[in-house]
Amino acid sequence: MKAKLNVFLIIFLTGLLTGCTFISERAEGIAPSKNYITRDYQIKDFNSIDATTVGDIYYTQSTDGKSSLQIYGPDNFVKLIQVSVKGNTLILAMDKHKKIKNAKKLKITISSPDLNRIQFKGVGNIHIDNKFVTGRLDIESKGVGDVNVQELDCQNLTVNSMGVGNVNLKGKVVNANLSSKGVGDVEATDLEATHVKASSNGVGNISCNATQSLDAAVKGVGSINYKGNPAQKTFSKKGVGSIKGI
């Protein structure tokens, strides 16, 4: 068991160091100019976001039925962001050969009537701070940074955490499918869910809140901690981590 744990940790620490190398490369790149600008984009409606950018993203659900995108930061950073809408997906990308430092100086503000999917493979944090009502939300985090959803009201939620950073969730959902395959934690203690399916295959932990049913499986180093007293519980433990109530 100890040998398996050591191998597992080596694999994930290698991935973590790779992420750190990615950040350090950017730290040696283009310095921000002193000229800050705000650029507004005319975009088509979308319900999905695919971001490989460097910078913080702030999403708000619009109440006027319109979609919008605004980017604030140093002018030499803003011009590096490539914006497009393909199908129902808003794509935010940056030239991978252009390295920038001090990415926190970039702020990307997005709004749309609905959002069903977030795929993040960049560096920075994603914030959904206001009340957000949707039928379905899929979050896939493969980047370096946190995803924060403060007041979610959703029927079906799916989270795949495969990067370096935490996914923090608050609110209320009916069905929550939470998966951790990376280094960061999935923190959903304040997300009340009727039914929870949680799977920990990585180093990060999952904390959840189930009222009726919980299906929990541990195959890695991370643990699953659950709040509530669901009548139906199914546990499977094949890894080092634990499954326990809090």
pLDDT at 18 over 90: no
CA-based end-to-end distance of the chain: 26
User: How is domain 34-124 classified at the architecture level of CATH?
Assistant: 3 Solenoid (2.160)
Residue 228 exposed, middle or buried by CB count within 10 Å (0-12, 13-18, 19+): middle
More confident call, 76 vs 104: 76
pLDDT for the residue 28 = 63
Q: What pLDDT band is residue 100 in, cutting at 50, 70 and 90?
A: confident
The answer on pLDDT for 221 being more than 70 is yes
Lowest mean pLDDT across 12-16, 103-107, 112-116, 162-166: 12-16
Task: List the Cα angle 204/223/116 in 5-degree steps.
Answer: 55
Question: What is the percent of the chain with per-residue pLDDT over 70, rounded to a whole number?
Answer: 87
Q: What is the pLDDT of residue 69?
A: 98
Q: Determine the pLDDT at residue 102.
A: 66
The mean pLDDT of 76-92, rounded to a whole number, is 96
d(CA 115, CA 143): 19
CATH topology of domain 126-238: Pectate Lyase C-like (2.160.20)
In this model, does residue 4 exceed pLDDT 80? no
Q: How far apart are CA 71 and CA 61, in angstroms?
A: 17
Q: Give the containing element (helix H, strand E) for 179.
A: strand 167-180
b/e per residue 104-125 (b: at least 16 CB within 10 A): ebbbbbbbbebbbbbbbbbbbb
- Among 68-77, 97-106, 129-138, 161-170, whose mean pLDDT is lowest? 97-106
Whether the pLDDT of residue 98 is over 90: the answer is no
- Phi, psi dihedrals of residue 181, rounded to the nearest 5°: -125, 5
Average of per-residue pLDDT across 192-218 = 96
Answer positive or negative: Cα dihedral of 143, 148, 154, 155.
positive
Contact between residue 143 and residue 121 where contact means Cβ atoms under 8 Å apart: yes
pTM: 0.87
Lowest average pLDDT, out of 45-49, 132-136, 145-149, 201-205, goes to 201-205
Counting beta carbons within 10 angstroms of the beta carbon of residue 96, is it exposed (0 to 12), middle (13 to 18) or buried (19 or more)? exposed
The CB density around residue 88, as the number of other CB atoms within 10 Å, is: 14
Cα–Cα distances in Å, from 176 out to 167, 195, 196?
Answer: 13, 6, 5
Q: Where are the domains of the chain?
A: 34-124, 126-238
- Going by pLDDT thresholds of 50, 70 and 90, the confidence category of residue 105 is confident
Identical fold, 34-124 and 126-238: yes
Contact (Cβ atoms closer than 8 angstroms) between residue 90 and residue 109: no
Beta carbons within 8 Å of 97's beta carbon, 6+ residues apart: none
- The 10s digit of each residue's pLDDT in 141-200 is 999 999 999 999 999 999 999 999 999 999 999 999 999 998 999 999 999 999 999 999
Predicted confidence band at 115 (pLDDT cuts at 50, 70, 90)? very high
Enclosing H/E stretch for 8? helix 2-27
Q: Considering the chain, what is the average pLDDT of its residues?
A: 89
Report pLDDT for 95: 79
